[in-house]
Structure 1
Amino acid sequence: MNWNDCIERTHTHSVKWSAAPDEIIPMCIADMDFQVAPEILEAMKKKAEHGIYGYTTFCDRYYRSIIGWWKRRFDMDIDKEWISFSPGIIPGINLLLQLLTKPGDHVIVQEPVYYPFYSTIDNHQCNIVQNSLIYKNGTYEMDFSDLEKKASDPKAKVMILCSPHNPVGRVWTEDELSRVAEICLKHDVWIISDEMHGDLVYKGNRHYPLFSVHPEIKNRAILCAAPSKTFNVAGLQTSIIMIPNKELREKYQQKLFQYGLMRPNAFGVEGTIAAYESSEYWLEELLVYLEDNLQYVLDYFQTHIPEIIPIQPEATHLIWLDCSKLGMSGEQLFQYFLKEAKIKFDEGYKFGDSGQAFLRMNIACPRERLEIAVKRIQGCVIKVK
């Protein structure tokens, strides 16, 4: 696999690249500018050449590939019955909130956090309750006393947990997750755990699935995952919603049928199987390349752009950039880099109020493109001085 190939993505209906005018480098949107593993590509070709793309269902091999992956990577045993489908994690969370809340209920999130969580909560007329992360010494930690307070409110029904956390890149420790589980169990608050980035963890860190940290949490939690971020196959729209609680799982599956979402697309099943069965080596190579990109960015900012502080991620291919020393925030900060550096970041303010002076940067791209981007950023920052 040649990770340095700058594969052309314009005119391919890419959300990331189609929205970028000429000369703009999109360092936004959490997909990667790398071609998928050869085994996935071969599975797609084989399915395409078959020539019939009718209604598709799931097979035993699909379930076995998921169960095998989680056992190998996280030593977690999954029952086949837990596994439900969604075309994406956000649609899945929307359906779950329909089942777990009513208008006026409280849903807890830990901002700055993946901003589509906010719209899912608004969709169901629930109140967004912030258990804001604490930014301290260049990293983030949970505020457990505040979480206890927010969870103890009788209106608190659900916590949406981002693990590993997007955008700050924390991999929550076993102890941290256990404390979250204990608090939510104590106050009868369901946990929806978004573990989309659980495979993209850097050396020295370990992702603990929520189900593994507390013996009782399985009955009061849902785990959301997918091959999407891991293997760059978000367009296949095949996400995994694990629901051990039988009553909730049956209600969720009824919702899928109600909205006509019970079937995957013709390529999604094949892609998932090829990813989880045959592409683990590709992920290991990817993590090495991402770690090199990460270190390059950290070193470059420290040496040449000290005005911006990158928060070193423990996971994800995203870096949360503290731009507070530049004296700009919100839309002004985003537009400045878009116009002056011709770099499109993800706007920090969308992730919550504490993200006003931040930007999110995607480093899952060939090194040549990354080098051009950071030099543009440097030139842009020099103008601010």
Structure 2
Amino acid sequence: MKYNFDKIIERRGTDCIKWDHADLFFGKNDLLPMWVADMDFESPPEVVEAIVTRAKHGIYGYTARSDSYYESIVSWLSRRHGWEVEKEWISHAPGVVPAVHIAIMALTHPGDKVIVQTPVYYPFFKAVEETGRQLILNPLIESGGRYTMDFEDLERKIDSRTKIIILCSPHNPVGRVWTRDELSKLGEICLSSNIKIISDEIHSDLVLGNNRHIPIATISEEVSSITLTCVAPSKTFNLAGLSSAAVISSSSTLLSEYSNMLSSVGAGMSNVFGTIALQTAYNKGEHWLEELLEYISGNFEYMRDFLKANFPEVKVTELEGTYLAWIDFRGTGMSVEELKNLLYEKAKVGFEDGSIFGIEGEGFMRVNLACPRAIVEEAMKRLINVWKSC
């Protein structure tokens, strides 16, 4: 490999949430943190160089999004996902989570219903409830360690107050990369029910093996016209702290409603380094990404094989996309509190409690594999040592 993903980089002392502020989630900082979804890898060197060069200019005033900014997004989506986007379809966001909040406020009214597919990225819950909308759960179906959408349940729960479904694609935390057939069926239901789609596709570049991400907006012109898609380089290139995302729709009506709300809450400005990082990553980061995906696949295979051989009570969900493994500890017979005690108090590993993603996540843990292999190995060693001593 050209890039050294085995390199251990000391992140403590940088005010990073994962290492310096784990106590916000776990109540302590003495764990090996494999939770919040950022990477323990350096961003592509081309991105670092571009940021340093811009920083040396010394003036960091108000910054616009140039044609080259939009062109980098358009080109990336075409090359990586076969999605032909026009510049006029693109709006801005300081992040995907803020974009989801803003989109809900723009496209619904207080009291309207918004559907999420649990277990799912938990900020979606707050995005719905904190904007005064009703949260409707459409749990995924788990069978044999694989998750699928429950379309019958979805259709039962739709009524005249249902206005939006939030799609997580690829799905966090269960690691599914949705197929064309699944997305087509979802699109059909939404079209027939007059429901808009907010599609969180922040993990779309992090697809493993022979799986392929399909933007739901590419299913048909009709589905595209009811969809707001959120993308960002933050997960792909480890740029979350630079607050730069894009919101895309072929519908001028949806996009203007979103953009007007974005402006009304004062969130339309650009981050000077975020715009530089986005352009550079999309224009020059492709080879780095290919090596990253190979490395993450190796981390997953190591962990899966280790647990299968040494801890057969634990089942690992197959990882199609994202760098977040979804591990089923229910076979241990432990309660949620007993499991957390085993991991946090005894093994000292900071896996993320699955129950925060919805009741369907009870007994599961989400594990961030975007880290050097040595960290994965250490976590497995700690885990098996305490399990054997139980």
Give the TM interval when normalised to the shorter protein: over 0.9
Superimposed CA distance per residue, residues 202-241 of structure 1 (whole angstroms, 9 cap, x where no aligned partner): 1110100011112301111100110000001111100111
Is 2:75 the partner of 1:68? yes
Matches within 5 A, 1:1-385: 1-20=3-22, 23-151=30-158, 153-384=159-390
Superimposed CA distance per residue, residues 178-221 of structure 1 (whole angstroms, 9 cap, x where no aligned partner): 00000000000111000111100011101000111123011111
CA distance, structure 2, for counterparts of residue 265 and residue 227 of structure 1: 14
SS at match of 1:57: coil
Superimposed CA distance per residue, residues 127-179 of structure 1 (whole angstroms, 9 cap, x where no aligned partner): 2111110110111111111112223x111110000000000000000000000
Amino acid at match of 2:47: I
CA distance, structure 1, for counterparts of residue 337 and residue 20 of structure 2: 21
Query: Taking structure 1 as reference, are residues 62 and 154 closer, same or farther at Cα in structure 2, changes over 3 Å only?
Result: same
CA distance, structure 2, for counterparts of residue 225 and residue 381 of structure 1: 40
Amino acid at match of 2:152: S
CA distance, structure 1, for counterparts of residue 127 and residue 300 of structure 2: 31
TM-score (norm. length: structure 1):
0.97
Q: Give the superposition deviation at 1:382.
A: 2.1
Q: Give the superposition deviation at 1:111.
A: 0.3
CA distance, structure 2, for counterparts of residue 314 and residue 332 of structure 1: 29
The answer to whether the 8 Å contact 2:107/2:257 transfers is no
Per mean C-alpha deviation after superposition, the further-off stretch among 183-192 and 335-344 is 335-344
CA distance, structure 2, for counterparts of residue 335 and residue 213 of structure 1: 45
Query: Taking structure 1 as reference, are residues 134 and 230 closer, same or farther at Cα in structure 2, changes over 3 Å only?
Result: same
SS at match of 1:161: strand
Amino acid at match of 1:43: A
The answer to whether the 8 Å contact 2:228/2:254 transfers is no
CA distance, structure 2, for counterparts of residue 51 and residue 375 of structure 1: 47
Per mean C-alpha deviation after superposition, the further-off stretch among 308-317 and 243-252 is 243-252
SS at match of 2:15: coil
The answer to whether the 8 Å contact 2:105/2:261 transfers is no
Superimposed CA distance per residue, residues 82-117 of structure 1 (whole angstroms, 9 cap, x where no aligned partner): 111111111111111112222222111110000000
Q: Give the superposition deviation at 1:327.
A: 2.4
SS at match of 1:241: strand
CA distance, structure 1, for counterparts of residue 97 and residue 340 of structure 2: 25
Superimposed CA distance per residue, residues 284-340 of structure 1 (whole angstroms, 9 cap, x where no aligned partner): 010111111111011001001112111111011010110112223434423431111
The answer to whether the 8 Å contact 1:112/1:354 transfers is yes
The answer to whether the 8 Å contact 1:330/1:348 transfers is no
SS at match of 1:107: strand
The answer to whether the 8 Å contact 2:115/2:166 transfers is yes
Question: What is the Cα-based RMSD across aligned positions, in Å?
Answer: 1.2
TM-score (norm. length: structure 2):
0.96
CA distance, structure 2, for counterparts of residue 126 and residue 22 of structure 1: 35
SS at match of 1:319: strand
Per mean C-alpha deviation after superposition, the further-off stretch among 334-343 and 287-296 is 334-343
Q: Give the superposition deviation at 1:23.
A: 4.2
Per mean C-alpha deviation after superposition, the further-off stretch among 141-150 and 15-24 is 15-24
Superimposed CA distance per residue, residues 17-52 of structure 1 (whole angstroms, 9 cap, x where no aligned partner): 112455421010010100011100101110111111
Query: Taking structure 1 as reference, are residues 302 and 244 closer, same or farther at Cα in structure 2, changes over 3 Å only?
Result: same
CA distance, structure 2, for counterparts of residue 360 and residue 167 of structure 1: 7
CA distance, structure 2, for counterparts of residue 109 and residue 331 of structure 1: 26
What is the identity percentage for the equivalent residue pairs of Structure 1 and Structure 2?
A: 44
Deviation above 3 Å: which 4+ runs of structure 1? 20-23, 329-332
Matched pairs, number: 383
The answer to whether the 8 Å contact 1:224/1:240 transfers is yes
The answer to whether the 8 Å contact 1:329/1:358 transfers is no
